[in-house]
Structure 1
Amino acid sequence: MAELVFFSGTMDCGKSTLALQVDHNHRVQGRQGLLFTRFDRSGEAVISSRIGLARPALEVAEDTDLWHEVSRRHRERPVDYVVADEAQFFSPEQVEQLARVVDDLGVDVFAFGITSDFRTRLFPGSARLVELADRVQVPQVEALCWCGARATHNARTVDGAMVVAGEQVVVGDVGEREGTLDVGPVGTIAYEVLCRRHHVRRETAAVAAARGEVDVRADVSAGSAPAAPR
């Protein structure tokens, strides 16, 4: 039977890489799929990973009806599976539409996304996926905090200082990238993954380096993609 599967983790744990691998595995077996994404780090209508892989995808907008999109294409040419990346940015209604795709069309849906935001609050789309998914899985590759522990939380910094308030959606990245996202009066925004202890204490890698606790590489704080405030 078809399933709705939600692969969830922090930033930097390889979700988009896994999404592209799932698509590849199904395509080489002759299955026909659709790829959806929203606010990918590399821009519109693409699923990209930090290791350089990328595939064209259909960009999901606020008013996109995923049931209509998939069912229309399914009538023209049978769809066997759907890959939905950056699913935390989907609306709860769009997640429900994906569940209907599974139940009414018998199409497998593989959704990939971050569970909670920089404030440790659930994204609405992720919350609905947890409620509706047949399975919730954690990617095998673990992102690491600067201390070496498994990273469980996403941290946002503004001008180098960690913040726990602000717009929920300002799209960015972690990893080796040039520069950070300068959003004018708001400040320069970057992201970092932390374990719960250091997120609660607001101890980023830069803070640890200032205290002499860790030798932080220049690329610990990441650059970012275009902002998408909501």
Structure 2
Amino acid sequence: MAQLYYRYGTMNSGKTIEILKVAYNYEEQGKGVVIMTSALDTRDGVGYVSSRIGMKRPALAIEETTDIFGYIRDLPEKKPYCVLVDEAQFLKRHHVYDLARVVDELDIPVMAFGLKNDFRNELFEGSKYLLLLADKIDEIKTICQYCKKKATMVLRTQDGLPVYDGEQIQIGGNETYISVCRKHYFAPEINKENEEK
């Protein structure tokens, strides 16, 4: 019986590497997958899933108007064994409900990967509905940039200073966002880090 999985983690926790690994394992057995990602993530071009270690694959870019359920249902080839979604935090409510329909009506497992909370420590829309609808929820762990604790928050920085207000979505990489624990979210050691450079 198919299920909807939500695997979340902070930046640099290996979410995209996990997607690429799962896709490889299915395809190695001759089982097709569909890989999707948000069209909002333009860091490496629209419609690509790419990891920080250089692995990259094409993916269906999910636009605000994309009918995910209709796309999967109407695929001309054999139905996929699994649907993999990267940057799931950027999905809209209707996209997450589409993913649930893919599981429930088409009996295809869906694995969605993304951030849980933004730099203001608030849930993204996609994350909120995945936490509500997912059959299985799993955290992909990584460590705080400043200590040995588990990173649970994302700190946005600009010109070497922490930022706690602003637009929720600002596409960036290591230069803009830092994975931190709760303590270092509220008291980051950015100045200490800058002094050491």
TM-score normalised by the chain length of structure 1: 0.80
| 1:75-97 C-alpha deviation (Å, 9 max, x unpaired) | 54222110000000010110110
For residues 136-180 of structure 1, what are the alpha-carbon distances to aligned partners after superposition, in whole Å with 9 as ceiling and x for unaligned? Answer: 1122x5233222322111011122211111000001112xxxxx5
1:24 and 2:24 aligned = yes
CA distance in 2, matches of 1:58, 1:22: 17
Is 1:191 matched with 2:170? no
Q: Deviations over 1:72-128 (max 9, x none)?
A: 11x542221100000000101101100000000000101000000000000010010
Q: Distance in 2 between matches of 1:95 and 1:152?
A: 23
Query: 1:207 and 1:60 mapped to 2: Cα distance?
Result: 39
What is the number of residues matched between the two proteins? 195
Corresponding position of 1:47? 49
For 2:80, the equivalent position in structure 1 comes to 79
SS in 1 for 2:74: helix
Residue in structure 1 matched with residue 170 of structure 2 by the alignment: 170
> Residue type of the partner of 2:178?
E
| C-alpha separation in 2, matches of 1:143 and 1:103 | 35
Tell me which amino acid in the other structure corresponds to 1:192: I
Letter in 1 for 2:186: V
What is the CA–CA distance in structure 2 between the aligned matches of 1:195 and 1:145, rounded to whole Å? 8
Give the corresponding residue for 1:120: 121
Q: Amino acid of the residue matched to residue 119 of structure 1?
A: R
SS at match of 1:35: strand
Following superposition, the deviation at residue 26 of structure 1 comes to 1.0
Question: Larger deviation: 148-157 or 119-128?
Answer: 148-157
* Counterpart residue number, 1:58: 60
Gaps of 5+ in 2: none
User: What SS does the aligned partner of 1:10 have?
Assistant: coil
**Displacement of 1:52 after TM fit?**
1.1
Q: CA distance change for structure 1 residues 110 and 47 in 2, over 3 Å: closer, same or farther?
A: same
Contact 1:40/1:48 (8 A) holds in 2: no
Q: Which amino acid aligns with 2:3?
A: E
Greater RCO, 1 or 2 (C-alpha within 8 Å, sep 6+): 2
**What root-mean-square deviation, in Å, do the aligned CA atoms of Structure 1 and Structure 2 show?**
1.5
Query: 8 Å contact 2:146–2:184 — kept in the other structure?
Result: no
1:36-81 Cα offsets, whole Å, 9 max, x none, are: 00115312111000111111101011111101111111x5422211
Question: Does the CA contact (< 8 Å) of 2:89 and 2:115 recur in 1?
Answer: yes
Q: Following the alignment from structure 1 to structure 2, what is the Cα–Cα distance between the partners of residues 200 and 146?
A: 12
Q: % of aligned pairs identical?
A: 38
Aligned-partner residue type, residue 70 of structure 1: I
Q: Secondary structure at the match of 1:157?
A: strand
Q: Is the 8 A contact 1:80 1:108 kept in 2?
A: yes
Distance 2:44 2:143 in 1: 20
1:184 counterpart residue number: none
Unaligned runs of at least 5 residues, structure 1: 175-179, 181-189, 217-230
